[in-house]
Chain A
């Protein structure tokens, strides 16, 4: 059933000055934008200085997909799985955007994806994947291993 809302358009501008126009129903998938719409601040273009164009396009794509009634449950699941197949730069961009825009379900999925990248891996591997610099001296590291020997068994 379609809502009887007016087909109001919401205009958004990314940090790199790209503009996007979406229907209100799509935009309000973001709680942040929904609040703006409800407060009547969404009549002009809304600037989003902390989200770049590439990421914003992705987020809006997600929102559109979730409002589309022709999409089946299975299709949606597949879409979500493929959606998160990103390199780390994009993944984090998406994470920060989803957090800032407060998009239902998206933040959880991204965080879950990051957790999946960590789960079951040894610390050395995690450092490699995420480019974490080990700033411990060998003695310090050994001390921590001993302190938490239970975890490293």
Chain B
């Protein structure tokens, strides 16, 4: 005779929680039908993300004339789901760690509903708030309406991370005070005048990102002692940026139009990424000399740069990509580990001895393989080279004889590859290589070369 006791339902809540943490969300919802005790068990669990399209996307099997109705039904289901989750937590005074919402708002009543949800979340001391919400664009309405962020959010003491997308900030808030905010990511329309208030209200902020923020024309950052990273990406109206942040470590600028960049005292800056910035040689050299701690520099599509000269013991990673006006690069960077270059075959001189990762791609068609290798050879002793469709591994050993001042390595602190290159392994993943020319070049020039391996990888079939 089987024992008919239902022990599972009698388990205390914390143990049940633990068991449910091993079970996927959808099935947990099904458990709400088991019995009255199970009806609301799912509301206790942390659900970090609510995405409307998970509910409303599967309408394939619905006949076309019923699709609209079915969509509305599913939309309502989604709203109920979010509502019960938030209400459940609110009523039981449970904290919400993370609340992310991705949803299309139909009308004013949806906006009001969202305001109430935000209220619940804030009452539950939400830490990470992520809103990706937009108003359904009815064809006859112009201009596009956007959801306005309620005041409550900008004075919420618990919020540590705020991410907003597609909605908008009002032009005026009576108070902005986010004492716990560490990370701010805005991908929304803003009005210029609100930004200084916003910045002033986030004393302890550490990371700031503005991405595609229409309306953002100028940005002044100062007086943020904990600010470590700033990212300004594709803000279409941004004209001027002024930054002064003594603890700033990382700066990323991706511009879409000319923009004035003034970097004040950012003594701790060590990572600088500039994409599509109309910076001049002088601007770059000024910045590098004022910020000697920079160890990672990434320049892409900076079309005003012509001649780059970098001398830095700290520099560990350099990338020059698609800066098509460059004619010359001269780097004295003894501790450089990583180099990436994509552009024309230009004059490149370097003094580096610890390069371990090199990635090179030349835009010119008529550069011979030997010329390319010579270019690389000037980078002294790279161990691994990833170059378009080849991977080249260099192995080095000790030179055979003590040489008296060879001309090829006069300007670099160590003996160049000609004296130390022992083995080369070329892996050709695609395309063709002038194998014979290269073999001859190396055997002519590398004094202690022992082996030259050429492995053909997967070769594209002949058309």
Across the A-B interface, the 10 shortest Cβ-Cβ residue pairs? A151-B29, A115-B22, A130-B8, A92-B7, A131-B6, A148-B29, A132-B6, A115-B19, A123-B33, A111-B19
A120 is an interface residue with CB less than 8 A from chain B: yes
A86 is an interface residue with CB less than 8 A from chain B: no
**Which range contains the number of A residues in contact with the other chain?**
20 to 34
B144 is an interface residue with CB less than 8 A from chain A: no
Contacts A130-B8, A133-B6 aside, 18 further interface pairs with beta carbons under 8 A come to A116-B22, A118-B27, A119-B22, A123-B33, A126-B34, A127-B35, A130-B7, A130-B9, A131-B6, A132-B9, A136-B33, A144-B32, A144-B33, A144-B39, A145-B33, A147-B80, A149-B77, A152-B30
| Count of chain B residues with a beta carbon within 8 Å of a chain A beta carbon | 35
Residues of B within 8 A of A123 (CB): 30-31, 33-34
Interface string of B14-53 (1 = CB under 8 A from A): 0100111011101101111111101100000000000000
With A119-B27, A148-B29, A150-B77: A136-B3 Cβ-Cβ less than 8 Å: no
Residues of B within 8 A of A2 (CB): none
CA distance A152 to B303 in the complex (A): 57
Q: Which residue of B lies closest to A89 (CB)?
A: B3
Q: Are B15 and A134 in contact (CB under 8 A)?
A: no
B35: contacting residue among A89, A111, A112, A135, CB under 8 A:
A135
Interface string of A91-129 (1 = CB under 8 A from B): 010010001000000000001101110111011001100
CB-CB contacts below 8 Å: A65-102 with B: 88-89, 92, 95, 99
Q: Are A147 and B77 in contact (CB under 8 A)?
A: yes
Interface residues of B, dominant DSSP: helix
Q: Are B58 and A153 in contact (CB under 8 A)?
A: yes
CA distance A17 to B74 in the complex (A): 59
Residues of B within 8 A of A122 (CB): 30
B172 is an interface residue with CB less than 8 A from chain A: no
Residues of B within 8 A of A130 (CB): 6-9
Report the minimum CB–CB distance from B6 to chain A (whole Å): 4
With A112-B22, A114-B19: A141-B33 Cβ-Cβ less than 8 Å: yes
With A133-B6, A150-B81, A153-B58: A111-B22 Cβ-Cβ less than 8 Å: yes
B5 is an interface residue with CB less than 8 A from chain A: yes
Interface string of B60-103 (1 = CB under 8 A from A): 00000000000000100110110000000000000000000000
Q: Are B33 and A132 in contact (CB under 8 A)?
A: no
B4 is an interface residue with CB less than 8 A from chain A: yes
Q: Which residue of B lies closest to A115 (CB)?
A: B22
Residues of B within 8 A of A95 (CB): 11, 15
Residues of A within 8 A of B77 (CB): 147-150
A-B contact pairs, 14 of them (CB 8 A): A88-B3, A95-B11, A99-B15, A111-B19, A119-B23, A126-B34, A133-B35, A144-B32, A144-B33, A148-B29, A148-B77, A148-B81, A151-B29, A152-B30
Residues of B within 8 A of A89 (CB): 3, 5, 7
CA distance A112 to B29 in the complex (A): 19
Report the minimum CB–CB distance from B37 to chain A (whole Å): 8
Residues of B within 8 A of A92 (CB): 7, 11
B55 is an interface residue with CB less than 8 A from chain A: yes
Residues of B within 8 A of A120 (CB): 27
Residues of B within 8 A of A116 (CB): 22
CA distance A141 to B31 in the complex (A): 12
Q: Are A131 and B4 in contact (CB under 8 A)?
A: yes
Q: Are A134 and B34 in contact (CB under 8 A)?
A: yes
Interface string of A42-82 (1 = CB under 8 A from B): 00000000000000000000000000000000000000000
Residues of A within 8 A of B33 (CB): 123, 136, 141, 144-145, 148
Q: Which residue of A lies closest to B9 (CB)?
A: A132
Report the minimum CB–CB distance from B85 to chain A (whole Å): 12
Report the minimum CB–CB distance from B202 to chain A (whole Å): 37
Q: Are A118 and B9 in contact (CB under 8 A)?
A: no
Report the minimum CB–CB distance from B178 to chain A (whole Å): 34
Interface string of B99-119 (1 = CB under 8 A from A): 000000000000000000000
Residues of B within 8 A of A132 (CB): 6, 8-9, 34-35, 38
Residues of A within 8 A of B39 (CB): 144
Report the minimum CB–CB distance from B165 to chain A (whole Å): 24
Report the minimum CB–CB distance from A29 to chain B (whole Å): 20
CA distance A106 to B276 in the complex (A): 57
CA distance A123 to B4 in the complex (A): 17
Interface string of B321-340 (1 = CB under 8 A from A): 00000000000000000000
CA distance A150 to B52 in the complex (A): 11
CA distance A88 to B11 in the complex (A): 13
CA distance A135 to B5 in the complex (A): 15
Report the minimum CB–CB distance from B80 to chain A (whole Å): 6
Report the minimum CB–CB distance from B73 to chain A (whole Å): 8
Report the minimum CB–CB distance from B12 to chain A (whole Å): 9
CA distance A114 to B9 in the complex (A): 12
Report the minimum CB–CB distance from A151 to chain B (whole Å): 3
Q: Which residue of A lies closest to B80 (CB)?
A: A147
With A149-B77, A150-B29, A150-B55: A131-B5 Cβ-Cβ less than 8 Å: yes
Residues of A within 8 A of B34 (CB): 123, 126-127, 132, 134
Q: Which residue of A lies closest to B7 (CB)?
A: A92
Residues of B within 8 A of A99 (CB): 15
Residues of B within 8 A of A114 (CB): 8, 19
Report the minimum CB–CB distance from A106 to chain B (whole Å): 13
Report the minimum CB–CB distance from B79 to chain A (whole Å): 11
Q: Are B15 and A111 in contact (CB under 8 A)?
A: yes
CA distance A132 to B33 in the complex (A): 11
Q: Which residue of A lies closest to B5 (CB)?
A: A131
CA distance A152 to B78 in the complex (A): 14
